[in-house]
Structure 1
């Protein structure tokens, strides 16, 4: 701006319009004449493949909407409309009810070669501030280092065979009695169901070679010895940490056991795993549950929406298992469920078992992985395990026990004396 109020010539030349002072200023735009604009998109020939830029995203959108609709329908359809009667609700605030719970006494390894002897000792099974604790402890080393015979028949052995109740240490051939003492409980005395729901709120142990499990077993072997009469494995896990090759206490599995013989068990047909998210099952309590009807069975964690293993009873289990016609010796298999329903053998009364086992020789802990100190086929597997106690025992010190906060069992209306008029619908 010059002294006389005028703008410099260089600025005036760049201005399109000069508006005298005091007059209103208006914005002038240069409007484009539409008639003179080129419109190449009208005459340009488009590549036919460009249509997929629209079709593919739209297909993805429609598929996503359809999947979301299916999940909503499946969730709604999966909500149980059954009525249930409570069979047992136990928070252990009054101790361990002997009318319901039985402590098992056994040294046979429960058919899977576990290394513990189950006891009635308060050292291994006890209530602490309303929480059931199952804790393994070492066997007295004097019973292992000297020739010993351990006979539990006079101490209330609950096993079915002589080998379930009697064991020994022989320092000459290297066999030893069970190197660990632990606990196993069942509800066979006072709580059984045929179809219904079970929920066990528990915190799993942390420690190498520990094997916690929550299982439903048949009250009567209606179709024959295990696994002909079935087994419902709600939860099984390992106490090893998350680095363990097969999955430690950050992984749990569920499955059904069924088959014509121990060698031919169809558990692998529906064995499923669930992995804890950014934690382990030893960090806090979780609800391990099962819902079981005449049409299906499934296990879950914390809520029915988080299913682990689901099995529909839409075909006979003999067909589902795809079993051979004979065993390795040529003995012909006979279908034990031939005259049952599609739910057979899971159509009888089952009771609950809760246990904390140690080791095994059935492959639950695979050989030559993650420092396993024994081989399943070794006749002195227990001794090898005992000799490596300086490796695994320290891992039990912090959380080497199973904690159970509550156990709940319900019977589905229409079975076991549960009438609809006294039953209610469960939510969650």
Structure 2
């Protein structure tokens, strides 16, 4: 059989031939250049910036984020993000009433990072509510590292404890297409610390999601989200790899190995068309972008451990949840039930633990050959970026490495 150049425009038949060969070889979609590597031998705060805010992630979550070694620290090559009680730092009476928590800061390293939802200054008892009763940490690489396209692997062990909400995710560096969710969000992993009996999925499950849409109320995430459960045990027992493959034609996540696909989103149409927005009299925020917009821009990492909230991630009337998402005093309802949930937070078992974060460029330069039973030789040269990964995912549903 004559030599086939894959550097020309391929027909569907030749694409499928290449994919079959790649599937047999199982070593074509290779990791390219290592773009980012973090092993947490030290806690490098020039790489990982702490967010400092009481804003509750825009979801009226019950934690505040701070920079202190009670909540974020490194030991033996592992990053710990651990929730603690605010009352341990300022006393129960100050959490309840009359204490002004001022997080505005006065030096570049301690400036408040989010004033929305009264995030930089709150007084306990104002509005009838206690201060955010939990301290935790949220760190990001917005000032040190961002990238567009690649393969990500984060090795982590998830926290166990009621109403804990760990997340490993990515946000756009420049909001090229406007405010959230117009410029996108990539959630590699988010989970709940509740036990496996929790109806919405506990620590035995995690989800991966893409957020996108012209407005917050038109978030199309429901079309690009999936939850994966372990067959036995839970994610607090061992470290697992939470992976992402992201290029122009595919966005997907996996657990431990690329063949164990979690979320799979082939970019076969624009997100404007995917969301069915054309008939809704909206302006298309991605009109000037590529087919994969808003996921055609640089993103940065966020790693955090939240607690509770009122956006519905913890649904009402499930699993003994002590607060209502519709209550103006949800934080009080949570705090008043402390005797129930705090007993499930057992020291560092309640901490999100991260062993490593790595990012590779995706590139391939491989020659494959096989022989038919009729002794006809078929040789295919592959020497361009991303093609096999995208083709495999699109036609076979996974990217083999």
Q: Same fold (TM over 0.5)?
A: yes
CA deviation vs aligned residue, 1:55-87 (integer Å, no higher than 9, x gap): xxxxxxxxxxxxxx9x97785598653662212
Q: How does the TM-score come out when normalised to structure 1?
A: 0.76
**Aligned match of 1:271:** 225
Residue 256 of structure 1: how far off its partner (Å) = 0.4
**Aligned match of 1:189:** 143
| Pairing 1:45-60 to 2, within 5 Å after superposition | none
Aligned with residue 118 of structure 2, among 163, 175, 199: 163
| Pairing 1:5-154 to 2, within 5 Å after superposition | 75=23, 81=29, 84-93=32-41, 95-140=42-87, 141-154=92-105
| Pairing 1:335-414 to 2, within 5 Å after superposition | 335-397=284-346, 399-412=349-362
**Aligned match of 2:251:** 297
- Secondary structure (helix, strand or coil) at the match of 1:193 reads coil
Conservation of the 8 A alpha-carbon contact between 1:75 and 1:305: no
Q: Look at both structures and tell me which one has the larger radius of gyration over its CA atoms.
A: 1
Conservation of the 8 A alpha-carbon contact between 2:61 and 2:306: yes
- Secondary structure (helix, strand or coil) at the match of 2:168 reads strand
Conservation of the 8 A alpha-carbon contact between 2:97 and 2:130: no
Which segments of structure 1 move beyond 6 Å, counting only runs of 4 or more?
71-74
**Alpha-carbon spacing, 1:249–1:162, altered in 2? closer, same or farther (3 Å):** closer
> Does 2:274 correspond to 1:320?
yes
Residue 335 of structure 1: how far off its partner (Å) = 1.1
Q: How does the TM-score come out when normalised to structure 2?
A: 0.81
Residue 152 of structure 1: how far off its partner (Å) = 0.7
CA distance in 1 between partners of 2:31 and 2:188 (Å): 21
Conservation of the 8 A alpha-carbon contact between 1:87 and 1:191: no
CA distance in 2 between partners of 1:325 and 1:124 (Å): 47
**Alpha-carbon spacing, 1:114–1:303, altered in 2? closer, same or farther (3 Å):** same
Conservation of the 8 A alpha-carbon contact between 2:166 and 2:306: yes
- Secondary structure (helix, strand or coil) at the match of 2:319 reads coil
CA distance in 2 between partners of 1:78 and 1:157 (Å): 48
Residue 216 of structure 1: how far off its partner (Å) = 1.0
- Secondary structure (helix, strand or coil) at the match of 1:303 reads coil
Conservation of the 8 A alpha-carbon contact between 1:298 and 1:311: yes
Residue 161 of structure 1: how far off its partner (Å) = 3.7
Conservation of the 8 A alpha-carbon contact between 2:53 and 2:115: no
CA distance in 2 between partners of 1:179 and 1:301 (Å): 33
CA distance in 1 between partners of 2:300 and 2:246 (Å): 13
CA distance in 1 between partners of 2:50 and 2:284 (Å): 34
Structure with greater contact order relative to length (CA < 8 Å, sep ≥ 6) = 2
Conservation of the 8 A alpha-carbon contact between 2:151 and 2:359: yes
CA distance in 1 between partners of 2:310 and 2:355 (Å): 30
Residue 142 of structure 1: how far off its partner (Å) = 2.5
**Aligned match of 2:376:** none
